[in-house]
Structure 1
Amino acid sequence: MAPSATSKHPALGDISVLFLDVMARAVAREGYSIQPLFDQFSISQTLLNAPEARISIPRFMRLGSAAISLTGNPNLGLTMGTETRPVDAGLAGLAAMTAPTASQGLEQILTYSLLNSRNSRGHPHFDRDSLTARFYSIRPYNRYNYFVVDSVLGGWTRFLRRVTGEQAVLRKVMIEYPDLGQSEVFEQWFGCPVVFGAEENSVQLHRDIAPLIPAQAQPAMHRALVQQCNTQLERIRGGWNIIDQVKEKLTPLLQGQTPSLETVAAELGLGPWTLQRQLAAHGARYKDLLDDTRKALALDYVKETNLNFAEIAWILGFSGSPAFYKAYRRWLGMSPGDYRAQYAVRNVNG
């Protein structure tokens, strides 16, 4: 059996190195070379040439923040959207290009997102009724992750424009983070109203755009590519046992609450007793998996982000900061503040 998904991936998620090429092109479009940043963040050519290689989302966010500082463009994420090609989504992007309609193409990019990224908040989703594509980003928001939302929504928009040949492809854009004084720039780029401080990150397609046939639609090739996507997806999920599945469901459910076994069982389509029995067969208990999941996420949030500890406590579903501090000391024998300071010193010392 393949190694479990949760054991080989960073707790907050990871992303394909294909997206580093998008960032490099965006930086070049601004008149700069990204190579010094690749050197700084230990992004080697060998890594870039490995099609299945990934880096952690926190590393990707820090690299993006550095790229924004280098170029001086706070909207570098939109430039990344401009530079995004279907092939940058890997096999999923190739399948999308040959889909019967524009909306089906976008839906397949979302359906097979696990082939090129994994996000602790959950996977993208396409609602066929409302023609809305939704994206989940790490939050609370700060200068490290604004551009991630911009680049993803921008990339989806660019895909629709590319395959349809139309510029006005969206009815509305929703963005979770607050308006940073760039609303006019965003509405001009997306060509539609943009709502900041929304409950989700999403783009909604125009009804007349959805059924348009992509320029490279090809039924036989599409079927072949979808089959390859399904094979890869099964290979990824084939290594997930019930423990991995529970941890995968737990993470996005944690925010502001402690999800019950009954809630997770329902998410998996199982009865509570069935889930308990399956976990017991693997020598695991739900409360231990909950604790392990919180610990892995806590280490990444404290080490890889600048979020304050009250925010992290809420994200992990603790009742408050004191409960989070107590758990952290139990896990590591030190406070989260001491751990963050210790990690910062190690970084400074190389």
Structure 2
Amino acid sequence: MKRGAPGPAARPAPYADSPLYRSFVVRPALWWAQRAGADAVALAARFGLGPSAFEDRMSEMPLAAYRDLIDACAEAAREPFLGFRIATSLPRGYLGVFELSASSAPTAGEAAARFVKYLPLVNNGLLSARLDRRGGEVVLRQWIEGEPLAQGRHGNEFILTAMLRQSREFTGQHVVPRLVRLAHPRPPDVGEIERWFGAELCFDSGENALVVSEAVMALPQVAADGALLAVLDQHATRMLDERAQRPDDFLARVRRSVRENLTHSEALLPRVASLLSSSPRTLQRELTARGTSFRRVVDEVRAEAARAYAAEGELGVGEMAFLLGYADTPSFVRAFRRWTGQTVGDYRRDAAPAAPPR
């Protein structure tokens, strides 16, 4: 983002439709900008963040706003490799239990498996990850459904750099991947990170991935601790189980209240909280504990209703936008394409029953 470009107050639509994302990168990115002489407080406020962004290890914000914020921090810090720099300079333990469980695993493969398994605990299920094995190679993949740029350049470079750095530190070996895939377009200069990874970098991949040999997965880890790992696994598994077993009554009531009050979009959160005899802060906290957020619930309810309206074929696009609480029709049209990959008209035609044979 260029200096002087409008922030979310001037461009609400891209952020209003963007899913919430939680990241470890916000605080160090703001620190880099501040260290370079930028007004980091004003920069954070420009993207809807308050003082807690400088205190909390993780910050939550719309994914599109996150990408723009980290771009703005990189420009302010005059650091084109900001995500890479943050990942290579973070102190050990910054990623908390997530990092500790991986470092305590017996092998690099077991550490990677825990990254995949416990990722929902730190990101509310927005990020997806998987280990694929094929022909002597292992691919550790990470992506975001419906977001071909994933976390954006700096977020993508951060996560892959952090993963490889940890693998090297945890095993005591200079692990070199066979291939690195990144979701974002190729930037003008990749020399430094290409040398650090020691492998070919492929861009515009729609996902982030490290491709390594099976031999790497078998490497023992220098800080393996079976007793500690058992405790951490038990704790993390209990958290995952609690999330899966939470009763759905509360979430169902939130969804119902959202659905019935979508036209009050500007005051939807306080209105729904009041209807549920709660406060906005408590409602957000309860939803976070269930692995979601108010913004995400609203997006899901809107998507479900939009598909139904489009299939019924009775309402115009403007009427649908109004009923779903959008301030303007173009914002709804963009959201509908994100949900379905189609325009309203194309979706309506595909949903229409076939004409009976003559």
TM-score w.r.t. the length of structure 1 is 0.61
Q: Is the 8 A contact 1:309 1:321 kept in 2?
A: no
Q: What is the correspondence of 1:87-98 to structure 2 with a 5 Å cutoff?
A: 87-98=93-104
Give the 3-state SS of the residue equivalent to 2:178 in structure 1.
strand
2:241 to 212, 234, 239: 234
AA aligned opposite 1:101: T
> Match of 2:188, SS?
coil
Provide the secondary structure at the position in 2 that maps to 1:168: coil
Q: 1:170 aligns with which of 177, 195, 198?
A: 177
Q: Pairwise CA RMSD of aligned residues? A: 4.1
Q: Secondary structure at the match of 1:169?
A: coil
Q: Give aligned pairs, total.
A: 265
CA–CA distance in 1 between the matches of 2:343 and 2:225? 54
Trace 1:1-350 onto structure 2 (pairs within 5 A): 12-16=19-23, 18-24=24-30, 34-38=40-44, 40-41=46-47, 43-44=49-50, 46=52, 49=55, 54-84=60-90, 87-118=93-124, 120=126, 122-128=127-133, 130-137=137-144, 139-141=147-149, 145-198=152-205, 200-239=207-246, 241=248, 291-292=304-305, 312-320=335-343, 322=345
Bigger relative contact order (CA 8 A; separation at least 6):
1
For the residues of structure 1 that align with 2:148 and 2:240, how far apart are their CA atoms?
30
Q: Deviations over 1:44-75 (max 9, x none)?
A: 55566556874443343232122112112232
User: Once the two structures are aligned, what percentage of the paired residues are identical?
Assistant: 18
2-structure distance, mates of 1:94, 1:171:
26
User: Does the CA-based 8 Å contact 1:97-1:163 persist in structure 2?
Assistant: yes
Which one is further off, 164-173 or 51-60? 51-60
Structure 2 unmatched runs, 5+ = 1-16, 253-299, 309-320, 349-358
For 1:178, the aligned partner's letter is P
- Alpha-carbon separation, structure 2, partners of 1:52 and 1:175: 23
- Cα 1:34–1:124 change in 2 (3 A) is farther
| Aligned equivalents of 1:199, 1:243: Cα separation in 2 | 35
Post-superposition offset of 1:96: 0.5
Q: 1:223 deviation in Å?
A: 0.7
Corresponding letter in the other structure for 2:244:
R
Q: Deviations over 1:137-194 (max 9, x none)?
A: 463439x822221111111111112212233331210123332333433321211111
TM-score by length of 2: 0.60
SS in 1 for 2:340: coil
Cα drift, residue 231 of structure 1: 1.3
Letter in 2 for 1:179: R
**Helix, strand or coil: the match of 1:133?**
strand
Give the deviation of 1:316 after TM superposition.
Answer: 1.6
Q: Specify every segment of 5 or more residues in structure 1 that has no aligned partner in the other structure, as ranges.
A: 1-9, 246-286, 326-350
